Amino acid sequence: MLSLPLSLFFLLFVHLSVQQFPRFCATPEALTSRSCCPPWPGDGSACGANSGRGFCQDVVVSDLPDGPQYPHSGLDDREQWPLAFFNRTCQCAGNFMGYNCNECKFGYYGPTCAERRESVRRNIFSLSAAEKQTFISYLNLAKNTISPEYVIATSTRAQMNGINGTVNPLFANVSIYDLFVWMHYYVSRDTLLGGPGNIWQDVDFAHEASAFLPWHRFFLLFWEHEIRKLTGDFNFTIPYWDWRDARDCQVCTDELMGGQSSLDPNFISPASIFSSWKVICTLPEIYNAEETLCDGVGEGPLFRNPGNHDPNRVRRLPTSADVEFVLGLSDYETGSLDRRANMSFRNALEGFASPETGMAVLGQSTMHNAIHVFMNGSMSSVQGSANDPIFLLHHAFIDSIFERWLRKHQPPRSHYPTSNAPIGHNDGYYMVPFIPLNKNGEYFLGTKALGYEYAYLLDPSQRFMQEFLTPYLQHVQQIWPWLVGAGVLGGVLAAIITSLIIFTCYRGSKNQKRSAYGERRPLLHSSDEEATASYQTTL
């Protein structure tokens, strides 16, 4: 239980960030004016304009054509994001970032965001026991801390419109962890066409097309960023699970992400903190039937049963050879630019194409998709998959493979589709549902530019430092008081034992002298001059 001062500290510390929807903009006034330009606390001006941090500007969306997969217009709040809600937002200058330009861009810090920082994401199995426990405790803290700055929409924008032009904001509180779960649901939910159960399913603003990798790169960076601010630990990074050649769920242990319950293998072991978690946004059929959105209310326990999946859907888990083949595909996107694309790096890595031929396959899940389906639980449904914390470990490794491909092929941004990709996936389309606005193509770039790296992609000397020496030194630092105490105690014991031995030997020598000579004689020591057979000690 947090003390009151610490709770207030957290509220102040996470006061400003970048997600949807900022409380400042979830008001009748903001929705009516269609402006989301909060003041920067440093000078009180909108977006920190008086200090040159940013400016409140009109939103200009791309007018380049989308693909034919989504034939509707004006029915979904995510079309031409964010115009259904706001047509004015903060546009930040320089290295500033945030819905009011209070943050620094990824990889920068300091009062003027001018200082560079590079973080390293590490293999979860290279973490010390204390680091693993810290990671789990951070996730649990985020799961149980209501976001002080953000709320989630529980209805569409049209449903918020009242009579006589009034606006009735329909938003709800949510925890910091569940905020990200909700965003992953929101970006992939079905389109409500009007009427119970009248939906369009062939739509997803973050999957099955070009934006899959840039969107999730951005998504993980912000998740990492929010946990850092919540905990005050700015060295925190999301670890990854290297699942190449795995035969089972290696991270499904009570030490890590939770083992299977002995009472019911579909649920998490009671020995894991994750067994107490409640999932949200896992009932799309009910939302569609009721023409509503996920409201963030708990819908039951987290569950998974790894390996108990349809073997026709996932025939095996990804191998090292699969990864290498996919990395060899030189085209980021091809053909239809969706899940039917052949010889597309993105489509093969996402898991809609064979990692042996590069050709699209129907009815099977490979690579990224295979891990989700293999978990056979909360992870295996796209909209609710982020409920399972394994999502983070899995997507961090997917992101590392994306990074390897970028370094191998060094594609210019022009290789990313600018038009005719499925809705939400063109280069110039603003990522749903983030505010401030970021385009897909802006994250079609390497990790170093964004201030982070993967341990296994470092050169050998750096890798040794990150994966072996640093954890060892951190472990030594954690147990240093015990080592000092043990050293002092050992020294005292050694001194006592040595003293006893000397005393015993001395007493024995004394007794022997007295019995042999009847008097005490001095102990003779040899030297260079005295080193003759005639000089012997009494010992």
Residue 96 CA to its chain's centroid (Å):
22
Supply the pLDDT for residue 494: 65
Out of 47-56, 160-169, 190-199, 247-256, pick the least confident. Answer: 160-169
Q: Provide the pLDDT for residue 211.
A: 98
Q: Does the pLDDT of residue 20 top 90, yes or no?
A: no
Residue 538: what pLDDT? 25
Pick the more confident residue, 357 or 20. 357
Going by C-alpha positions, the residue among 380, 358, 139 that lies closest to residue 249 is 380
Domain architecture of the chain: domains with CATH: 28-308+376-473 (1.10.1280)
Is the pLDDT at 539 greater than 60? The verdict is no
Which whole-number Å values give the CA distances from 444 to 93, 213, 410, in the listed order?
Answer: 20, 8, 11
CA gap 79, 101 in Å, rounded: 25
Residue whose C-alpha is closest to residue 435's, from 10, 28, 44, 150: 150
User: For residue 537, what pLDDT is reported?
Assistant: 26
Any idea of the CA torsion for 281, 283, 288, 292, to the nearest 10 degrees?
-40
pLDDT band at 164 (very low <50, low <70, confident <90, very high): confident
pLDDT confidence of 24, banded at 50, 70, 90? very high
pLDDT score for 162: 84
Is residue 433 reached through a cis peptide bond, with omega within 30 degrees of 0 on the bond before it? yes
Give the mean pLDDT of the chain.
Answer: 88
pLDDT at residue 404 above 90?
A: yes
Q: What is the pTM of this model?
A: 0.84
Tokens at 388, concatenated: 């399972």
Q: What confidence tier does 34 reach under pLDDT thresholds 50, 70, 90?
A: very high
User: What digits encode the pLDDT tens for the residues 295-325?
Assistant: 999 999 999 999 999 999 999 999 999 999 9
Q: Does the pLDDT of residue 535 top 50, yes or no?
A: no
Whole-number pLDDT of residue 480: 55
Give the Cα separation of 431 and 204 in Å (integer).
12
Distance between CA atoms of residues 53 and 351, nearest Å = 41
Question: Considering only 239-248, 396-405, 503-512, which range has the smallest mean pLDDT?
Answer: 503-512
Task: Compute the distance between CA of residue 387 and CA of residue 286 in angstroms, rounded to an integer.
Answer: 18
Q: Which of 107-111, 242-246, 353-357, 460-464 has the lowest mean pLDDT?
A: 460-464
Q: Are 46 and 56 in contact (CB under 8 A)?
A: yes
Yes or no: say if 41 and 101 are a contact pair by the CB < 8 Å rule: no
Strands 119-121 and 452-454: parallel
Q: What confidence category does residue 229 fall into, taking pLDDT thresholds of 50, 70 and 90? A: very high
pLDDT at residue 371 tops 80: yes
- The mean pLDDT value for 56-61 works out to 98
The pLDDT of residue 250: 98
pLDDT band at 467 (very low <50, low <70, confident <90, very high): low
Determine the average pLDDT of the residues in 69-73.
97
Q: How far is CA 110 from the centre of its chain?
A: 23
Mean of pLDDT values over 169-173: 95
Q: How many CB atoms lie within 10 A of CB 534?
A: 5
**pLDDT value at position 10?**
36
* pLDDT for residue 19 is more than 70: no
- Comparing 142-156, 208-222, 458-472, the range with the smallest average pLDDT is 458-472
Per-residue model confidence as pLDDT tens digits over 129-139? 999 999 999 99
Q: What pLDDT is stored for residue 148 in this prediction?
A: 87
Q: Mean pLDDT across the stretch 63-80? A: 97
User: Which residue, among 318, 145, 321, 136, has the nearest Cα to 242 in the 3D structure?
Assistant: 318
Q: Please tell me the predicted confidence (pLDDT) of residue 104.
A: 96
Banded pLDDT at 165 (limits 50, 70, 90): confident
Contact 339/333 with Cβ under 8 angstroms?
no
C-alpha distances (whole Å) from 287 to each of 156, 279, 280, 291 are: 12, 15, 12, 6
